[in-house]
Amino acid sequence: MNKVYPAVKAIIQRGEKFLIIKQELLNKIVWDLPGGKVDYGESPYDTLVREVKEEIHLSVNIIKPIGFFWFFRQDKDQVVCTTFLCTADNYNINLSKNPADENITEYRWVTKDEFLGDDYEVGHNSIKKLFALL
pLDDT digits (tens, 9 = 90+) for 79-132: 999 999 999 999 999 888 776 667 898 999 999 999 999 999 998 899 999 999
CA 91 to mean position of chain CA atoms: 16
**pLDDT value of position 120:** 95
Q: How many helices (H) and strands (E) does the chain have?
A: 3, 7
The answer to whether the CB of 23 falls within 8 A of the CB of 57 is: no
pLDDT digits (tens, 9 = 90+) for 13-55: 999 999 999 987 657 889 999 999 999 999 999 999 999 999 9
Q: Which of 25, 7, 116, 134 is nearest to 70 (CA)?
A: 7
121/134 Cα distance (integer angstroms): 19
pTM for the structure as a whole: 0.92
Dihedral over alpha carbons 107, 111, 116, 121 (to 10 degrees): -10
- Domains and their CATH numbers in the chain: 4-132 (3.90.79.10)
The answer to whether the CB of 52 falls within 8 A of the CB of 35 is: yes
